[in-house]
Amino acid sequence: RLGPSVTAIGIMACVMGAYPLLNYIPVAALAGIMLVVVLHTFKWFSVSMVVAALLPDSTREKLGPRFQRKAPRVEVFVIFLVTLLSNWPQGTNIAYAVGVGVAICAINYAWSSGQTFTWRESYGPDGTKYYDIEGPLFFAASNRFVKVMNPENDPDKVEVRFSSSTSIMDYSAMEALHKIAVSYAGKNKKVVFKSLCPESEKMITKANKLCASIEYTSREIAVPDVEGIAPLPEEVGCNE
Protein backbone atom coordinates (compact mmCIF):
# COMPACT_ATOMS: atom_id res chain seq x y z
CA ARG A 1 0.00 0.00 0.00
CA LEU A 2 2.86 2.38 0.77
CA GLY A 3 4.50 1.97 -2.64
CA PRO A 4 1.45 2.83 -4.79
CA SER A 5 0.60 5.73 -2.47
CA VAL A 6 4.09 7.24 -2.77
CA THR A 7 4.01 6.75 -6.53
CA ALA A 8 0.62 8.45 -6.83
CA ILE A 9 1.72 11.40 -4.68
CA GLY A 10 4.91 11.76 -6.70
CA ILE A 11 3.06 11.76 -10.04
CA MET A 12 0.54 14.28 -8.69
CA ALA A 13 3.36 16.56 -7.56
CA CYS A 14 5.08 16.32 -10.95
CA VAL A 15 1.90 17.04 -12.89
CA MET A 16 0.63 19.88 -10.69
CA GLY A 17 3.81 21.81 -9.97
CA ALA A 18 7.07 20.13 -10.72
CA TYR A 19 6.51 19.48 -14.41
CA PRO A 20 9.33 21.91 -15.46
CA LEU A 21 11.77 19.54 -13.77
CA LEU A 22 10.68 16.72 -16.08
CA ASN A 23 12.27 18.57 -18.98
CA TYR A 24 15.68 17.88 -17.44
CA ILE A 25 15.12 14.10 -17.43
CA PRO A 26 16.31 12.47 -20.68
CA VAL A 27 13.61 10.73 -22.67
CA ALA A 28 15.88 7.69 -23.01
CA ALA A 29 15.95 7.35 -19.21
CA LEU A 30 12.16 7.43 -19.02
CA ALA A 31 11.92 4.84 -21.79
CA GLY A 32 14.43 2.65 -19.96
CA ILE A 33 12.44 2.87 -16.76
CA MET A 34 9.28 1.85 -18.58
CA LEU A 35 11.05 -1.10 -20.19
CA VAL A 36 12.32 -2.29 -16.80
CA VAL A 37 8.83 -1.98 -15.34
CA VAL A 38 7.41 -4.04 -18.22
CA LEU A 39 10.09 -6.72 -17.86
CA HIS A 40 9.41 -7.12 -14.14
CA THR A 41 5.61 -6.91 -14.17
CA PHE A 42 4.72 -8.86 -17.31
CA LYS A 43 3.55 -12.43 -16.68
CA TRP A 44 5.77 -14.21 -19.17
CA PHE A 45 4.22 -17.61 -18.54
CA SER A 46 0.97 -16.26 -19.98
CA VAL A 47 2.55 -16.12 -23.45
CA SER A 48 2.52 -19.92 -23.70
CA MET A 49 -1.08 -19.94 -22.43
CA VAL A 50 -2.14 -17.53 -25.18
CA VAL A 51 -0.30 -19.54 -27.83
CA ALA A 52 -1.83 -22.77 -26.52
CA ALA A 53 -5.31 -21.27 -26.82
CA LEU A 54 -4.76 -20.86 -30.56
CA LEU A 55 -3.63 -24.47 -31.08
CA PRO A 56 -5.77 -27.62 -31.41
CA ASP A 57 -5.63 -30.33 -28.72
CA SER A 58 -3.52 -32.69 -30.81
CA THR A 59 -0.81 -30.06 -31.33
CA ARG A 60 -0.74 -29.12 -27.64
CA GLU A 61 -0.22 -32.76 -26.67
CA LYS A 62 2.78 -33.00 -29.00
CA LEU A 63 4.38 -29.83 -27.62
CA GLY A 64 4.46 -31.16 -24.07
CA PRO A 65 3.08 -30.16 -20.66
CA ARG A 66 4.08 -26.52 -21.00
CA PHE A 67 1.27 -25.98 -23.51
CA GLN A 68 -1.37 -27.93 -21.61
CA ARG A 69 -2.45 -24.81 -19.75
CA LYS A 70 -4.35 -22.42 -21.94
CA ALA A 71 -6.45 -19.31 -21.59
CA PRO A 72 -10.07 -19.36 -22.82
CA ARG A 73 -10.17 -18.50 -26.50
CA VAL A 74 -12.78 -15.82 -25.97
CA GLU A 75 -10.51 -14.02 -23.54
CA VAL A 76 -7.57 -14.28 -25.94
CA PHE A 77 -9.77 -12.82 -28.67
CA VAL A 78 -10.77 -9.96 -26.35
CA ILE A 79 -7.10 -9.25 -25.55
CA PHE A 80 -6.18 -8.89 -29.22
CA LEU A 81 -9.34 -6.94 -30.04
CA VAL A 82 -8.86 -4.43 -27.22
CA THR A 83 -5.23 -3.98 -28.23
CA LEU A 84 -6.26 -3.35 -31.83
CA LEU A 85 -9.11 -0.97 -31.03
CA SER A 86 -6.87 1.07 -28.75
CA ASN A 87 -4.88 2.23 -31.77
CA TRP A 88 -7.03 1.56 -34.84
CA PRO A 89 -9.22 2.77 -36.51
CA GLN A 90 -8.64 6.48 -36.11
CA GLY A 91 -10.84 8.05 -33.46
CA THR A 92 -10.88 5.12 -31.05
CA ASN A 93 -9.05 5.00 -27.75
CA ILE A 94 -8.56 2.75 -24.75
CA ALA A 95 -11.96 3.69 -23.29
CA TYR A 96 -13.86 2.50 -26.37
CA ALA A 97 -11.69 -0.62 -26.57
CA VAL A 98 -12.33 -1.57 -22.94
CA GLY A 99 -16.06 -1.00 -23.39
CA VAL A 100 -16.13 -3.38 -26.36
CA GLY A 101 -14.13 -5.95 -24.42
CA VAL A 102 -16.47 -5.77 -21.43
CA ALA A 103 -19.49 -6.18 -23.71
CA ILE A 104 -18.03 -9.27 -25.39
CA CYS A 105 -17.13 -10.83 -22.03
CA ALA A 106 -20.64 -10.12 -20.70
CA ILE A 107 -22.25 -11.77 -23.73
CA ASN A 108 -19.96 -14.79 -23.37
CA TYR A 109 -20.78 -15.09 -19.66
CA ALA A 110 -24.51 -14.93 -20.36
CA TRP A 111 -24.19 -17.58 -23.06
CA SER A 112 -22.11 -19.88 -20.82
CA SER A 113 -24.50 -19.47 -17.88
CA GLY A 114 -27.45 -20.25 -20.13
CA GLN A 115 -25.83 -23.55 -21.12
CA THR A 116 -25.82 -24.70 -17.47
CA PHE A 117 -29.63 -24.92 -17.53
CA THR A 118 -30.63 -28.61 -17.28
CA TRP A 119 -33.76 -30.52 -16.33
CA ARG A 120 -34.88 -34.01 -15.41
CA GLU A 121 -38.38 -35.49 -15.65
CA SER A 122 -39.88 -38.07 -13.27
CA TYR A 123 -43.27 -39.33 -12.05
CA GLY A 124 -44.59 -39.83 -8.53
CA PRO A 125 -46.70 -42.73 -7.24
CA ASP A 126 -49.89 -40.67 -7.58
CA GLY A 127 -49.16 -39.82 -11.22
CA THR A 128 -47.75 -36.36 -10.54
CA LYS A 129 -45.07 -35.33 -13.00
CA TYR A 130 -41.97 -33.64 -11.63
CA TYR A 131 -39.57 -31.35 -13.45
CA ASP A 132 -36.28 -30.93 -11.57
CA ILE A 133 -34.57 -27.76 -12.77
CA GLU A 134 -30.86 -26.98 -12.42
CA GLY A 135 -29.14 -23.71 -13.27
CA PRO A 136 -30.07 -20.01 -13.23
CA LEU A 137 -33.20 -18.77 -14.97
CA PHE A 138 -32.73 -15.59 -17.00
CA PHE A 139 -33.14 -14.36 -20.57
CA ALA A 140 -30.65 -16.86 -22.01
CA ALA A 141 -32.46 -19.88 -20.53
CA SER A 142 -36.10 -18.80 -20.21
CA ASN A 143 -37.03 -19.77 -23.77
CA ARG A 144 -35.58 -23.26 -23.28
CA PHE A 145 -37.51 -23.56 -20.02
CA VAL A 146 -40.79 -22.82 -21.80
CA LYS A 147 -40.02 -25.39 -24.51
CA VAL A 148 -39.18 -28.06 -21.94
CA MET A 149 -42.67 -27.94 -20.43
CA ASN A 150 -45.36 -29.97 -22.19
CA PRO A 151 -48.87 -28.86 -21.17
CA GLU A 152 -50.44 -30.85 -24.00
CA ASN A 153 -49.32 -34.28 -22.76
CA ASP A 154 -48.52 -33.73 -19.09
CA PRO A 155 -50.90 -35.10 -16.40
CA ASP A 156 -53.33 -32.90 -14.50
CA LYS A 157 -50.85 -32.21 -11.70
CA VAL A 158 -47.31 -31.01 -12.40
CA GLU A 159 -44.64 -29.80 -10.02
CA VAL A 160 -41.53 -27.88 -11.03
CA ARG A 161 -38.83 -28.28 -8.39
CA PHE A 162 -35.97 -25.80 -8.41
CA SER A 163 -32.57 -26.83 -7.09
CA SER A 164 -30.46 -24.80 -4.70
CA SER A 165 -28.50 -23.40 -7.67
CA THR A 166 -31.63 -22.14 -9.45
CA SER A 167 -32.93 -18.62 -9.05
CA ILE A 168 -35.05 -16.19 -11.03
CA MET A 169 -32.75 -13.43 -12.21
CA ASP A 170 -34.77 -11.14 -14.50
CA TYR A 171 -38.17 -10.35 -16.00
CA SER A 172 -37.74 -12.87 -18.82
CA ALA A 173 -37.70 -15.71 -16.27
CA MET A 174 -40.83 -14.39 -14.55
CA GLU A 175 -42.55 -14.07 -17.92
CA ALA A 176 -41.60 -17.69 -18.67
CA LEU A 177 -43.15 -18.88 -15.39
CA HIS A 178 -46.29 -16.85 -16.09
CA LYS A 179 -46.56 -18.21 -19.63
CA ILE A 180 -46.20 -21.78 -18.37
CA ALA A 181 -48.82 -21.25 -15.66
CA VAL A 182 -51.28 -19.78 -18.17
CA SER A 183 -50.67 -22.64 -20.62
CA TYR A 184 -51.42 -25.30 -18.02
CA ALA A 185 -54.44 -23.39 -16.72
CA GLY A 186 -55.81 -23.28 -20.28
CA LYS A 187 -55.69 -27.10 -20.30
CA ASN A 188 -57.40 -27.30 -16.88
CA LYS A 189 -54.16 -28.55 -15.35
CA LYS A 190 -52.25 -27.39 -12.31
CA VAL A 191 -48.57 -26.56 -12.20
CA VAL A 192 -46.78 -25.57 -8.99
CA PHE A 193 -43.27 -24.10 -8.82
CA LYS A 194 -41.56 -25.37 -5.70
CA SER A 195 -38.51 -24.38 -3.67
CA LEU A 196 -38.20 -20.79 -4.83
CA CYS A 197 -35.34 -18.98 -3.10
CA PRO A 198 -36.20 -15.84 -1.07
CA GLU A 199 -34.77 -13.52 -3.74
CA SER A 200 -36.90 -15.11 -6.48
CA GLU A 201 -39.99 -15.02 -4.29
CA LYS A 202 -39.39 -11.34 -3.62
CA MET A 203 -39.19 -10.58 -7.35
CA ILE A 204 -42.46 -12.41 -8.03
CA THR A 205 -44.17 -10.67 -5.10
CA LYS A 206 -43.18 -7.26 -6.45
CA ALA A 207 -44.48 -8.17 -9.92
CA ASN A 208 -47.64 -9.95 -8.71
CA LYS A 209 -49.85 -7.92 -11.02
CA LEU A 210 -47.82 -9.03 -14.03
CA CYS A 211 -47.61 -12.71 -13.06
CA ALA A 212 -50.60 -13.36 -10.83
CA SER A 213 -51.15 -16.82 -12.31
CA ILE A 214 -47.94 -18.23 -10.83
CA GLU A 215 -48.46 -20.65 -7.94
CA TYR A 216 -45.31 -21.34 -5.97
CA THR A 217 -43.90 -22.49 -2.64
CA SER A 218 -40.90 -21.14 -0.78
CA ARG A 219 -37.66 -22.99 -0.32
CA GLU A 220 -37.30 -24.61 3.07
CA ILE A 221 -34.18 -23.34 4.78
CA ALA A 222 -32.89 -25.60 7.54
CA VAL A 223 -31.60 -23.65 10.55
CA PRO A 224 -29.04 -25.69 12.49
CA ASP A 225 -29.11 -25.74 16.27
CA VAL A 226 -26.35 -23.62 17.77
CA GLU A 227 -24.94 -24.80 21.07
CA GLY A 228 -25.24 -22.28 23.85
CA ILE A 229 -28.30 -20.40 22.49
CA ALA A 230 -31.51 -20.71 24.50
CA PRO A 231 -34.56 -22.08 22.60
CA LEU A 232 -37.52 -19.87 21.73
CA PRO A 233 -40.43 -19.73 24.24
CA GLU A 234 -42.79 -21.57 21.90
CA GLU A 235 -40.23 -24.33 21.46
CA VAL A 236 -39.98 -24.73 25.23
CA GLY A 237 -43.76 -24.97 25.49
CA CYS A 238 -43.89 -27.63 22.79
CA ASN A 239 -41.22 -29.72 24.53
CA GLU A 240 -43.11 -29.54 27.82
- pLDDT per residue as tens, the chain (240 positions): 788 899 889 888 888 888 788 788 888 998 998 899 889 888 888 888 889 998 898 888 888 888 888 889 999 999 999 999 988 888 888 899 999 999 999 999 999 998 899 999 999 999 999 999 999 999 999 999 999 999 999 999 999 999 988 989 999 999 999 999 999 999 999 999 998 888 888 888 888 777 777 888 877 655 555 565 555 555 544 444
pLDDT of residue 229: 58
| Residue pair 216/201 in contact by the 8 Å Cβ criterion | yes
How many CB atoms lie under 10 A from the CB of residue 200?
23
pLDDT of residue 221: 58
How many CB atoms lie under 10 A from the CB of residue 228?
4
Phi then psi for residue 140, to 5 deg, are -80, -15
Provide CB contacts within 8 A for 206, sequence distance 6+. Answer: none
How many CB atoms lie under 10 A from the CB of residue 218?
12
Amino acid identity of residue 50, one-letter, is V
pLDDT of residue 238: 46
| Residue pair 163/133 in contact by the 8 Å Cβ criterion | yes
pLDDT of residue 15: 80
pLDDT of residue 223: 52
pLDDT of residue 117: 92
| Residue pair 218/194 in contact by the 8 Å Cβ criterion | no
pLDDT of residue 165: 85
pLDDT of residue 183: 93
